[in-house]
Amino acid sequence: AILGNKTATNGGSGKVVNSGPNDSIFIYYADHGAPGVLTMPTGDDLYAKDLIEILKTKYESGTYKNMVIYVEACEAGSMFDGLLPEDWNIYVTTASNPDESSWATYCPGSDDPP
């Protein structure tokens, strides 16, 4: 979907990112995650290395100006930490660092969910 390839999508809405070199892209994802992986409601999970490869292909295609990605999932930071080059014009913010759960309430020092 990020690469704009409608023929590669199976199921879902069939919508893809059809962007040009002057476009800004916003991606929001909220679901479950674990170190180096985001789980999908249906279908295959998305692994960090695969996501970075997709973003690299999008960058090399020159089909966006800026991209913002928000990810709300446990260990969401592990999808990008040390993997995303700074010169791709992609700003990422995550609800959790690479080794942190993303509960609805943050309780420093607590191992149990609130």
Rounded CA gap, 36 and 19, in Å?
27
| Catalytic residue IDs | 32, 74
Burial of 38 (0-12, 13-18, 19+ CB in 10 A): buried
Neighbouring CB atoms inside 10 A of 99's CB total 11
Q: Would you state the pLDDT for residue 45?
A: 95
- Residue ranges making up the domain that contains 33: 24-94
Q: Report if residue 108 sits inside a domain.
A: no
**Number of domains the chain contains:** 1
Q: Report if residue 110 sits inside a domain.
A: no
Q: Report if residue 13 sits inside a domain.
A: no
CA angle 62, 64, 66 (to 5 degrees): 125
Q: Report if residue 81 sits inside a domain.
A: yes
Q: Report if residue 114 sits inside a domain.
A: no
Closest CA to 60 of 93, 26, 90, 99: 90
Q: Report if residue 83 sits inside a domain.
A: yes
Q: What is the pLDDT along the chain (114 residues), one digit of tens a residue?
A: 899 888 877 777 778 899 999 999 999 999 999 999 999 888 889 999 999 999 999 999 999 999 999 999 999 999 999 999 999 999 999 999 999 888 766 667 766 655
